[in-house]
Amino acid sequence: MSEHDCIFCRIVAGRLPSVSLYEDAHSKAFMDINPVARGHTLVISKLHAETMLDIPLPALEAVVATVQRIARAIDAAFHPDGITIVQSNGPGAAQSIPHFHMHILPRNFYDDLPMNWRLTPGDRRVIEEAAQSIRAALEG
């Protein structure tokens, strides 16, 4: 997807409206128009990068700093039981907009938001094999 066709790039450029919360030179925070919780917020990079794998480190750092700032404000405004930060990369991870962004979700006990997985012990051998593959990729 090109920057011209990207919905988030159009929001950054002011060609599409948003319910803005905060912005600086590198990031923008605004309310999600399909909220799963009261206060559901998106934080995006002003630089078009599709995933965390593509975004330059300075732009990523700016987004994370804004996420922390907004999460603190959400905590003060709503006093949720917790806050979930979600960031997906690619269609297989349910990334709906191919522009790097993070969701900030105020959470309450029993909100029934289907995001938490059960802790199930894994096979130690399979875990070790996965770690070896990752270490090899880090070295190579």
The active-site residue out of 40, 48, 99, 101 is: 101
d(CA 16, CA 112): 32
User: Phi and psi of 37, rounded to 5°?
Assistant: -155, 155
Decide if 113 contacts 103 (C-beta within 8 A).
Answer: no
d(CA 65, CA 81): 22
Can 101 be counted among the known catalytic residues?
yes
Helix (H, G, I), strand (E, B) or coil at 93: helix
d(CA 30, CA 42): 5
Active site positions, annotated? 101
